[in-house]
Chains A and B, each alone.
Chain A
Amino acid sequence: MSQEFMDPEIFADFIVEAKEHLETIEPTLLELEKTPGNLNLLNDIFRPMHSLKGASGFLGLAKINSLAHKAESVLEELRKGNMQVTSEVMDVILAATDALRSMIDSLETSGGEGETETGPIISRLEALLAGEAPSEPAMPRKSVPEPQAAPAAQAGAAPPERAPDRPAYSPQPYKLTVLGEGHLVDFLEEAREIIGNLNKSLLDLEANPSGNQELINDIFRYFHNLKGNSGIIGFAELNALTHEAETLLNRVRRGELAASQPMIDVLLAAVDLIDECVGAIDGASAEVAPPDTAPMIERLQRTANGETVEMPSAPAAAPGDELQSWESQSEPAPAAAPDPAALVASGLDVEDVTIFAETVGQQFDNIALALATLKKEPDSKDYIDGLYRSLNTLENSSGYMGFEEQKVYASRTAGLVDQGRKSGIGFELMLDILDQECSILKDLFGKKLAELGLGRQSGAPPAPAKAQAAPAAPVEPVAPSEPQPAAAPAPVRKPEPAPAAKAAPRPAAKPEPQAAAEPAVESRQATAQKSKAASTIRVDHEKLDHLMNLIGELIINRNRFSMLARSLEEGRLEVQQVAQNLVETTYSMARISDDLQDTIMNVRMVPVGSVFSRFPRLVRDLSRKNGKQVELILEGEETELDKSVVEVIGDPLVHMIRNSMDHGLETEPQRLEAGKDPLGKVWLRAYHKGNSVAIEIEDDGRGIDPARMRQVAVKKGVLTQEQAAALDDRQAMELIFAPGFSSAEQVTDISGRGVGMDVVRSNIKNLKGSVAVSSEVGKGTKITLMLPLTLAIIDALLVIVAGERFAIPLDAVSETTKIEAGSLSDVNKRKALELRGEVLGVVQLAELLQLSTEADARPVLPIVVIHDNERRLGLVVDRLLERQEIVIKPLGSYLADFDIRGVSGATIMGDGSVVLILDPHEVYLMATSHGRPGLTA
């Protein structure tokens, strides 16, 4: 791996040059195939191949060098006329160039030659040189991105009987065959769509397992499509997995098997794994670090053979631990506790060994996480340091145990990391080598643990030859699920025969080693962020055409402007007439820009159904986990929202649905006692309301009891006794949004840690939206999110306050009016006003914003009435200006850190001045919260 330490500049030059060479070679080869006698063409191929050989040799790229060398020799023979140009020879040389290309691509993306297998091609080339007719061995699917290989792989991909020689699970990332950049994006998008459909259809099937042929056909088709697509891009693991699922479905379709609950569970777990596979694809480099699919494939096969696969007692929310638990149950867990005999022999303390095993497991998880993260952001110092610390810990603990070999190796690897971070060379160059070092290290430790009788350490190479005993991989995304075996030595954790009780927590489901569970979350988030970066939008062709037309009009209009300017200059036209033309042109400009704005907005709109579709699955899994029967009712999925909003509301909604299911809904006995339907209901609905979209999460559970909220708030120290007593019921309910507040009596692994709603509110606030809660004890709770249709442009009312202009979002303005100062009365130390029979609180906006404290002596006051959900408030301003569409600009991160309340952003006016945008929700809160100035006006 000498190339790791080459001068990056030379390296980059080589890659560019090599690509150029390959680009010359390929078309010339194709031409040569048509005109075999053309010696000039041969020379044209020979030269770049020769340069490639030379340059790669100089850089010490052994694989590329040897392949180029062999190809060159064959070309030499052709040139000399010792060999005839036949299509067979061409096939081999083309295969060689393909392999070269994939190695060079991998050099560019990962800094190493990658996993491309050159052996078979070299032997074919050698066979050619030896004068044999080239045999046509099956191309290794992963390595040769031959265009025809795709359908072939699709058709013959791992049928059950071939399963044993399925390529061994390799944790190394490899490159997918991608035709152009858009190809992979399309694949990812389609795959996600299919996964969504699969989840939905499987749940439908679960609700109605018998007799729905149509549904089974659908599911079959989804798997089939995904299989085809994954075959084309050469994603072997995904292909094999979908193939098995398809086989299973095919048998169901033909009536040879009946859809059953265990089967659906298996299929759902398979879909989870598929999701994970898709998530493992790196959109930027088209590389994939596949998770281990072997256990799931075997499971699918067994199901397809009619066996009832023993399932964990309840489906897990995370595919990772589901897989894990399944493994630990189906396997007869060899020696879960340290083998005393072995230990006695080695003279070690049982406890020490257990701790050692645990530490090792944890550290390897950390290493896996660090490596995976560093792959994405090679310069993340935190992870480099983390990697170093983990390796150091390994060194120390093996030193303590007296395992010399492990200690030396760990210290060597740690030294490497240390060197790397001190010398400041780009870390990405080192990643490959570290990856290898770490997996060797893992093997070493695995072996040691195996010797100690902890044979289930997953990294152990001599692990049972069964397909399930997947060698653990440092880069495997699900790697954090490994600590389970590491922790297994504790006798308590011996796999129990799965208890049938639904609610019983499975041993593996608990995030026992805390440290291990967290990386899992992190890595998941990392992938989520990643996939977000590559987000695309599908646009109706018609809309694009319309945009094109508008641009055309825009250009014509621009020309009209310059024509007018010219005629003014030359004085050819009357000023009057120019003015007239100018007005017309400006109007048409306004029309075009409005139309453009609408169309672009339209393009950005996506139905919320794309987020909603993941919740039936979530609700199902949660309801099986906490033993509550729940029906989720979706409404208004077709409601459209700006894509950027849709992308970020998913997580808040997950929080709230979990809350509803965990805290909101009662258990079945409680519901029966209260005379309710034992089947709990949760509604998730979206609808338009004015210029916003409302999303509601409603349940028919126990509701929020304001009295209890006050108690809890006092108990948790969020409020004092007096403060709590002063809250009205609505305010008491809003305590659920306070940080550190959770009224749940017990913290479950689903919710109740008191961070959820706080985060939800700040997320929604970031979207310029608001959250409100309403609830009735015993009847249920409803949480309403109000979200703006779009983020960038809003309608606003401009007002003048204390001599400054401010914009109030028109959404929140219910009316403007003028009142006589004398009609204000004092109610509870607040100013109030009777407006059409309703009492309306009124505040001086200038005072509220601490802009002036002068008493307002005007006899008539202009008032803007704003509403925050159902509550209304009158704001006294200096003067009302016009309404206007404004573009929202953020105030910047510096000011964001101050607690500047009441202002949500700024906008820039036509004259270039900055006008601040008020946040009606906060203005309302400021006016009503206790002890704030502005109330005593």
Chain B
Amino acid sequence: MAEMQKRQDIDLLQLVTFSIGDEEFGVDILKVQEIIRTMEITKVPRAPMFVEGVINLRGKVIPIIDLRKRFGLETKSHDKNTRIIVIEINNMIVGFVVDSVSEVLRIPASTVEPPPPVVAGLESEYISGVGKLEDRLLILLDLNRLLSREEKDVLTQV
């Protein structure tokens, strides 16, 4: 039983997709805790540039990362489509600011290809693959890398 379930999981990826600029991204739905509208964000002094600050998520203080800044894209002020995707990974809860959230997609794992060296101007190290849909490409983010300690070390030095 469990094994069959597993095989299915491997075959079919369930993704939450969102857009930043002109690109569409996807993250594993199991990692997404919730999606919220933006709210008042408290700035944290001396934090890295891409950390927008912290918010109060039902009594918990969680850090908010602006993915535009994180990927080195030009910044954009929040509007009515702006969303915060709250992700839980390795016991860390982090919110990502994205331009808008699109949909939940199931795509067969076979349509995902390993990332080319550079995708849409951002380096492939945060990308676990590229999903080929009928009419467009979907960039699958590697959240572990995005939040890993070494990454952070590098980023704080830059």
Residues of chain A touching chain B, judged by Cβ–Cβ distance below 8 Å, are 804, 849-851, 889-895, 897-903, 906, 908, 912-916
Contacts and interface: CB of A to CB of B under 8 A. Distances in A.
Q: Which 3 A-B pairs have the closest CB atoms?
A: A849-B45, A914-B42, A906-B61
B156 A850 contact: no
Nearest to B90: A893
A895 B51 contact: yes
Contacts of B44: 891, 895, 900, 903, 916
Nearest to B53: A914
B92 to A, nearest CB: 5
Given A891-B61, A906-B61, A897 B45 contact: no
A891 B64 CA distance: 11
A891 B63 contact: yes
A912 B41 CA distance: 11
B147 interface: yes
B154 interface: no
Given A889-B61, A908-B61, A914 B147 contact: no
A914 B42 CA distance: 6
B45 A903 contact: yes
| Max chain A Cβ within 10 angstroms of own Cβ: one of B46, B60, B62, B92 | B46
Contact of B45 (A892, A894, A902, A912): A902
Interface in B44-86: 44-48, 51, 53-56, 59-63
Given A906-B54, A906-B61, A914-B56, A894 B43 contact: no
B94 to A, nearest CB: 5
A893 B92 contact: yes
Given A849-B46, A914-B42, A894 B63 contact: yes
* B47, B55, B59, B147 — most chain A CB neighbours (10 Å): B47
B152 A897 contact: yes
Interface string B135-153: 0000000000001010010
A913 B39 CA distance: 9
Contacts of A892: 54, 60-63, 92-94
Given A908-B56, A908-B61, A913 B156 contact: no
Nearest to A848: B45
Interface in B106-156: 147, 149, 152, 156
B91 interface: yes
B22 interface: no
Contacts of A903: 44-46
Q: Please indicate which of the listed interface residues A892, A912, A915 has the most CB atoms of chain B within 10 Å of its own CB.
A: A892
B61 A898 contact: no
Interface in B31-47: 40, 42-47
Nearest to A913: B40
Contact of A898 (B43, B47, B55): B47
Nearest to B55: A914
Contacts of A804: 42-43
Contact of B59 (A893, A908, A915): A908
Contacts of B63: 891-892, 894-895
Given A890-B61, A903-B45, 4 more contacts: A849-B45, A898-B47, A912-B56, A914-B54
A901 B61 contact: no
Contacts of B40: 913
B61 A850 contact: no
Contact of B147 (A894, A908, A916): A894
24 contacts: A850-B45, A851-B45, A889-B60, A890-B61, A891-B54, A892-B63, A893-B91, A893-B92, A894-B92, A895-B44, A895-B51, A895-B54, A897-B149, A897-B152, A898-B48, A899-B46, A900-B45, A900-B46, A902-B45, A903-B46, A908-B59, A913-B40, A914-B56, A914-B61
A900 B54 CA distance: 13
A379 B61 CA distance: 31
Nearest to A907: B61
Nearest to A803: B43
Contacts of A890: 61
A894 B48 CA distance: 12
- Which of B54, B93, B147 counts the most chain A CB atoms within 10 A? B54
B61 to A, nearest CB: 4
A893 B148 CA distance: 12
Contacts of A893: 91-92
B42 A913 contact: yes
Contacts of A901: 46
A906 B42 contact: yes
A891 B94 CA distance: 11
A897 B155 CA distance: 12
A912 B60 CA distance: 11
Contacts of B61: 889-892, 906, 908, 914
Contacts of B51: 895, 898
B37 to A, nearest CB: 14
A469 B53 CA distance: 63
A804 B54 CA distance: 13
A25 to B, nearest CB: 34
A903 to B, nearest CB: 7
Nearest to A909: B56
B44, B45, B46, B54 pick with most chain A CB within 10 angstroms: B45
A686 to B, nearest CB: 32
A843 to B, nearest CB: 14
Contacts of B55: 914
B156 A899 contact: yes
Given A849-B46, A908-B61, A914-B42, A898 B156 contact: yes
Contacts of A902: 45-46
Given A892-B93, A893-B92, A914-B61, A898 B54 contact: no
